[in-house]
Amino acid sequence: MAELNFSGAGYSRFDHQQCGEVGHRHAAAYQSAAPFPHIVIDDFLDKDMLRDVAHHYPSTDGRTFFDRSQERFKFQFGPDAISHPATLNLLAELNSLAFISFLEKMTGISGLIPDPYFSGGGLHLTRSGGHLGVHADFNIHSQLKLERRLNLLVYLNDDWNPEFGGELELWDTKMTKCEVSVAPMLGRAVVFSTTLDSYHGQPNPLTCPPDRDRRSIATYYYTAFTEGLDAVPQRTTNFRSRPGTTDKKDRQVAMNHLITDWVPLRLQHYARKLNRFQ
């Protein structure tokens, strides 16, 4: 039985009261988890519904994907690329007041704001051989000027063989070891707090057959700044290298962070332009 009911005639909804109760039930586990606040919940949503979402993914034909050392063979689909009504319904409800109630009760974070732009979110698909290096996410929404606080991932992979890999890894804040590994099984959800050192990723290339891929739903949540935007250092996605591996650090991003923190504002445009050509 699913943790959260999602039902209705025509348009399906989460039950507001149930969302609050389930969030409260998981609050202690979430807020006390290491290496940073997070939770893994199996049977989060109805598996038949999730199979339907997975079966109606948009085509990857003609679409670009991430293809660099830090992330490879990964596609993203926002609502504008999705035509399946049930998928659009679910994405809308993951941004609903009822679902926000679940997140707020569980995390203890009040005033959560969903992202109508689905910046970086929506449906994700990674092909065999693909990976996403360990990183901390961008912390400020470029359009909304809000602070990123939470990630939600819901996995869509039925009959997933452990030999396929694809585990989400949560690393300690000093990047010395992986503390949590989560297999991307159908119906499993992961929620975690995002900070400048909440390092996570799927760093090991997928070893699934070429006719399989790794699929998930991703939605992100934000809060308004209490002390103003200028009080928070602005960061893009910050990839990190795992010890004892050949992972490549994104030196251009690291230099841009240095420019943001130390170069006078009127000179930053020129410094970033120079950095692109290094």
262 within a domain of the structure (yes/no): yes
Residue 211 has pLDDT above 90, yes or no: yes
Residue 231: which pLDDT band, with cuts at 50, 70 and 90? low
pLDDT at residue 63 tops 90? yes
Q: pLDDT higher for 229 or 129? A: 129
* Phi, psi for residue 215 in degrees, rounded to 5: -125, 145
169 shares its domain with 272: no
pLDDT at 229 over 70: no
Same domain, 166 and 82: yes
In a domain, 215, yes or no: yes
> What was the pLDDT predicted at 233?
72
CA gap 118, 192 in Å, rounded: 17
Integer angstrom CA distances of residue 236 from 119, 121, 169, 188, 270: 13, 15, 20, 28, 18
Are residue 255 and residue 237 in the same domain, yes or no?
A: no
Same domain, 191 and 260: no
Pure H helices in 63-200: 85-93, 97-107
List the one residue out of 93, 86, 122 whose CA is nearest residue 14.
Answer: 93
Shared-domain flag, residues 243 and 256:
no
Q: What is the CATH number of the domain that holds 145?
A: 2.60.120.620
Q: How far is it, in rounded angstroms, from Cα 247 to Cα 129?
A: 15
pLDDT band with cut points at 50, 70 and 90 for residue 228: low
pLDDT of res. 61: 95
- How far separated are the first and last CA of the chain, in Å rounded? 54
- Domain of 272 in residue numbering reads as 251-278
Could you tell me if 35 and 131 lie in one domain? yes
Please state the domain count of the chain.
Answer: 2
Nearest alpha-carbon partner for 183 in 138, 212, 209, 153: 153
Q: Specify whether 108 is located in the same domain as 199.
A: yes
Contact 252, 278 (CB under 8 A): yes
Q: In the prediction, which pLDDT does 95 show? A: 98
Mean pLDDT on 11-30? 98
Query: For residue range 53-62, what is the model confidence (pLDDT) as tens digits?
Result: 999 999 999 9
Between residues 266 and 230, which one has the greater pLDDT? 266
Residue 1 lies in a domain: no
pLDDT at position 226 is: 75
54 and 82 inside one domain: yes
In a shared domain, residues 143 and 159: yes
Q: If you count them, how many residues does the chain have? A: 278
pLDDT for res 256 = 79
Shared domain check, 229 and 151:
yes
Q: Are residues 148 and 259 in the same domain?
A: no
Q: Per-residue pLDDT for 276 more than 90?
A: no
Token pair, residue 50, equals: 């999730």
The answer to whether residues 269 and 137 belong to one domain is no
Residue 198: count other Cβ atoms within 10 Å of its Cβ: 19
